[in-house]
Amino acid sequence: MATTTVSLPPPSERPGPISWLRRNLFNNMSNGITTILLLAALAYAIPALFNWAVTEAVTAPDHEACRVAKGACWGFIAEKYRLMAFGTYPFEEQWRPLVASAALVVLVIVSAIPAAWGRALIGAWVVGIPAILVLMGGGWFGLTEVETDRWGGLPLTLILATFGIALSFPLAVLLALGRASDLPAIKALCIGFIELVRGVPLITVLFMASLVIPLFLPEGVNFDKLLRAQIGFILFAAAYVAEVIRGGLAAIPKGQYEAADALGLSYWYKMGFIVLPQALKHVIAPLVNTFIGLFKDTSLVIIIGMFDLLGAVQVASNDPNWRSFYVEGLLAVAVIYFVFCYAMASYARWVERRLDRSNR
What is the per-residue pLDDT across 231-266, written as a single tens digit (0 to 9) for each? 889 999 999 999 999 988 888 888 888 888 888 888
Asked if residue 195 lies in contact with residue 329, where contact means CB atoms within 8 angstroms, the answer is no
Residue 41 to residue 39: CA distance in whole angstroms: 5
HSE, CB side, 13 Å, CA atoms: give it for residue 149: 5
Q: How far apart are CA 259 and CA 139, in angstroms?
A: 56
How far is the C-alpha of 218 from the C-alpha of 51, rounded, in Å?
Answer: 61
β-strand partners of 58: 73
Residue 358 confidence (pLDDT) above 60? no
174 pLDDT higher than 90: yes
Q: Report the alpha-carbon distance of residue 99 to residue 138 in Å, rounded.
A: 13
Dist. CA 140–CA 127, nearest whole Å: 15
Phi and psi of 44, rounded to 5°? -80, -40
Residue 150 near residue 165 (C-beta atoms within 8 A)? no
**Mean pLDDT calculated for residue range 27-46:** 89
Confidence category of residue 10, pLDDT binned at 50, 70, 90: low
Q: What is the DSSP letter of 263?
A: T
Identify whether the C-beta of residue 320 lies closer than 8 Å to the C-beta of residue 329: no
